[in-house]
Every structure is written in structure tokens, then in C-alpha cells.
Structure 1
Amino acid sequence: MKKNLAPDEVWAPDACTLPTVERPLRVAEFDALFAGTVRAVRRPARERLLLELAFSPDNAARAAELAARESGCCSFFTFVLTIAGGGLALEVVVPPEHVEVLDALAERAGRPA
């Protein structure tokens, strides 16, 4: 598995099929989503990350679209977007062998904007 948690570098496991040249762009898309929408980051389990997002139809659409594209190249991710009671949450689950990727995602999501 390849992993790099340096703030300005790209990390991706061998299972990722996204072309290497596109990976920095995808990381930037996640960073933009996180910077503009994440209100809280929780880790209820080692393989599970829960991101509470600022509620809006645009934020829901951005999160859903990005999750769908990421699932297309990194099929080990499970994303669940929940809209309920005026709240918006994105749950990310990985199998145990990809916990380091989830760790990196959680670190990026928890950075101050």
C-alpha cells in the first residue's frame, strides 16, 4: 500500500484505479469539500469515519457526486450520505486492510479551513 500523510502530497492505495496524474486533483476536491462543509469529524470505529457537514442541497450534491466518483476508482470505500432532521452526514467505511487510507482521509477532514 502506498500512503503519504504529508499535507501537500498524494496518498493512494494500490487498489486505486484513478490515474496517478488525476490523484492530486481528487485530493484537492476532497480538501475543498472538507474546508467548506465539515462541521465535525467522528471516528465511531476503526474502519468507520463520520463527517457532519453543513446542511444545504449544494453540499449534499457535492458530497454525493464526489463519493460516487471516488467509489468508481476505489471500490473498497463505502459511502453513505444521510439527510435527516435538518442535518447532513457523510459516513465512510473501509475494510480493515484500508484503515490507513481512512486515517489519512480523517486527518484531511479534521484540518482547520
Structure 2
Amino acid sequence: MSDGHVATEGSWAPDACTLPTAERPLRLAEFDQLFRDAVRGADRVSAQHLRLHLVGDAQIEQTARDLTARESSCCSFFAFALSRSGPDALTLDVRVPAAHVDVLDGLAGRAASAAGPR
């Protein structure tokens, strides 16, 4: 595709992603599940920085750490930082370089869609 993205339904994965194409829908489903289960809010700090507010239970933390580590290994331009922002709350900061703002836009859209109204 000319826009630098793979043609996976609803995908925001750029061609630079080294995750095999066949595995991308599964990864998207994992992010969607995390977003549905955990996202309680989001702030677009800047064009290159998205902050997601998550519920803070241990299972969500483990899932988020595992998923973001795996995503970083195939899409090295992502910078994920997960921190505890309260006893029952986590913050997931996602940063990308300027060349990948469109990917962050897609991720933010998926988070908003999957999380839905609370």
C-alpha cells in the first residue's frame, strides 16, 4: 500500500513492523482486549505521545508489560512506559517518532473504540 500500512482490517501497523503479517490480526485482538479490559481514559499529551489510564490490578499490569514488550520487539519505534499512578491505577505512556504519528493516531483510535464509554 502506498500509505506505508499493511492491509489488515482496521490495522495501524506500518510496513516497518517485523511481526509476520499472519500474526498481526492476533496482536490487534490482544491490544483490543487490553483496551476493553483496562482503559479508563486517554490523554493525547502531544502528537507523538499518548497516555492511557488503566485499571491497576496485577493481571492487567502483567498483560500490559508482556504485550508492550512483544510489540516493541517487532515495532522498535514504539516507546512504551508503564507505571503505577495509584494503588488501583496504571499509566501507559506511548511515544513514537514524528515519522510514525499516524501509527499512534491509529492506536489511539483503537483504544477509544475498544474502551467505549465508561
TM-score in same-fold range (> 0.5): yes
List per-residue Cα deviations over 1:28-69 (Å, max 9, x = no partner).
000000001000011011000000001101100000000000
Task: Figure out how many residues of one structure are paired with residues of the other and give that number.
Answer: 111
Where does residue 2 of structure 1 map in the other structure? 5
Of 87, 100, 103, the match for 1:101: 103
| Displacement after TM superposition at 1:85 (Å) | 2.6
State the percentage of identical aligned residues.
Answer: 50
- Give per-residue Cα distances to partners, 1:1-39, cap 9 Å, x unaligned: 1167x9x43331121000000000000000000001000
With over 3 angstroms needed to count, the CA separation of the structure-2 counterparts of 1:10 and 1:85, relative to structure 1, is closer
**Cα distance in structure 2, aligned partners of 1:9 and 1:97:** 20
TM-score by length of 2: 0.88
RMSD, aligned α-carbons:
1.6
Which residue in 2 is equivalent to 1:75?
76
Aligned to 1:65: 66
- Aligned counterparts of 1:34 and 1:23: Cα–Cα separation in 2: 16
TM-score (norm: length of structure 1): 0.92
Question: Does structure 2 conserve the Cα–Cα contact (< 8 Å) formed by 1:3 and 1:101?
Answer: no
Structure 2 spans left out of the alignment, 5+ residues: none
Paired AA for residue 110 in structure 1: A
**Correspondence list, 1:11-26, <5 A:** 11-26=12-27
Question: Structure 2: which amino acid aligns with 1:15?
Answer: A
> What is the alpha-carbon distance in structure 1 between the residues aligned to residue 38 and residue 12 of structure 2?
22
The amino acid that maps onto 2:110 is R
Q: Verify the 8 A CA contact 2:6 2:15 in the aligned structure 1.
A: no
